[in-house]
Amino acid sequence: MTRGFTTTILHSDLESPIEHYAVHKPMHSSVAYGYPDARELAKVFKGESPGYVYGRQGNPTTAALEAKVTKMEDGIATACFSTGMSAIAATFIALLRAGDHVVSSSFLFGNTSREIVQMARESGARKVFFASAAPPVRFPNVYGIDMPTREELIACGRTEAEIAREIGCDELIYQDLEALREDVRSVNPKITRFEDFCFSGVYVTGDVTQEYLDGVEAQRRDGVKMADMEAENAQLDLGLETVD
């Protein structure tokens, strides 16, 4: 029987045995798994037999998620990771060899670029070239989007060579702002002005002054300090009573 996409998502786990006749896969919170025979445990640990040893290495819940994603994507297999950095690290370890060259993109890695460059070098890459699909972001967005202050933007006050040294790559390639404008105009020549203030520092409303930016950044810094103080003062209330 051919199933639709939604049915596949909901019921694909019924194709494998489910504990205690549950309609769907139960959640497993076990950290460790025991075996009657230590030799069997060793085989599972080495990957010679199916099973689970330690929760951080894998568990039935993660395996069920991987099986469901594989079904949804009509793929061969799926590997789930707890963080994006773990997935990137695993990819580097699996694919990179000593002497390989790596071209990394800011579209993929964003604020983790420094860690990515370091990870590539530790995996054996001799050269790391970082390519950004956008021009350098040197100015904050003040029209409702919560962006870092100028002092938090790596491109603010730095040349491209200085940014490359800051993140540790061998070469840094940014999109040229004027080339980007021309590319858009080639699609629609009627466009004469662009909202590119994050790159150019020219704000479309014309009322964003240096004093205004200083005030916004001061408020943000005060807000961060207040949040840090509240976090330090927060206590976990366990509802326990003191007994004399």
Residue 236 lies in a domain: no
162 and 99 fall within a common domain: yes
Instruction: Read off the pLDDT of residues 196-214 as tens digits, 9 standing for 90 and up.
Output: 988 998 888 888 888 888 8
* pTM for this model (two decimals): 0.56
114 and 171 fall within a common domain: yes
Residue 178 lies in a domain: yes
Q: Which residue has the higher pLDDT, 228 or 114?
A: 114
123 and 223 fall within a common domain: yes
Residue where a domain stops, chosen among 18, 51, 73: 73
Average pLDDT, the chain: 80
17 and 133 fall within a common domain: no
Instruction: Read off the pLDDT of residues 38-76 as tens digits, 9 standing for 90 and up.
Output: 898 888 888 888 888 887 778 888 888 888 888 888 889
Q: Is 169 within 8 Å of 104 (Cβ atoms)?
A: yes
| 109, 128, 138, 146, 220 from 155: Cα distances, Å | 16, 19, 5, 18, 19
33: pLDDT strictly greater than 80: yes
Residue where a domain stops, chosen among 73, 95, 127: 73
Query: Structure tokens of 105?
Result: 């993109």
Q: Which pLDDT value is given to residue 187?
A: 93
Q: Which pLDDT value is given to residue 62?
A: 86
244: pLDDT strictly greater than 60: no
Q: Is 3 within 8 Å of 11 (Cβ atoms)?
A: yes
Q: Which residue has the higher pLDDT, 165 or 26?
A: 165
The CATH code of the domain that includes 99 is 3.40.50
Instruction: Read off the pLDDT of residues 68-99 as tens digits, 9 standing for 90 and up.
Output: 888 888 889 888 888 877 888 888 888 877 77
31 and 121 fall within a common domain: no
Total number of domains in the chain: 2
Residue 243 lies in a domain: no
Query: Structure tokens of 126?
Result: 């001799």
33 and 128 fall within a common domain: no
227: pLDDT strictly greater than 70: no
| Domain range enclosing 176 | 84-230
Q: Is 135 within 8 Å of 173 (Cβ atoms)?
A: no
Q: Is 170 within 8 Å of 127 (Cβ atoms)?
A: yes
Q: How far apart are CA 231 and CA 226, in angstroms?
A: 9
Task: Annotate the chain with DSSP letters as a single string.
Answer: ----HHHHHHHGGGGS--GGG-SSPPP---SB---SSHHHHHHHHHTSSS--SBTTT--HHHHHHHHHHHHHHT-S-----SSHHHHHHHHHHHH--TT-EEEEEHHHHGGGHHHHHHHHHHTT-SEEEEE-SS----S---SS-----GGG-TTTT--HHHHHHHHT-SEEEPPPHHHHHHHHHHH-TT------HHHH---TTS---HHHHHHHHHHHHHHHHHHHHHHHH-----------
176: pLDDT strictly greater than 90: yes
89 and 210 fall within a common domain: yes
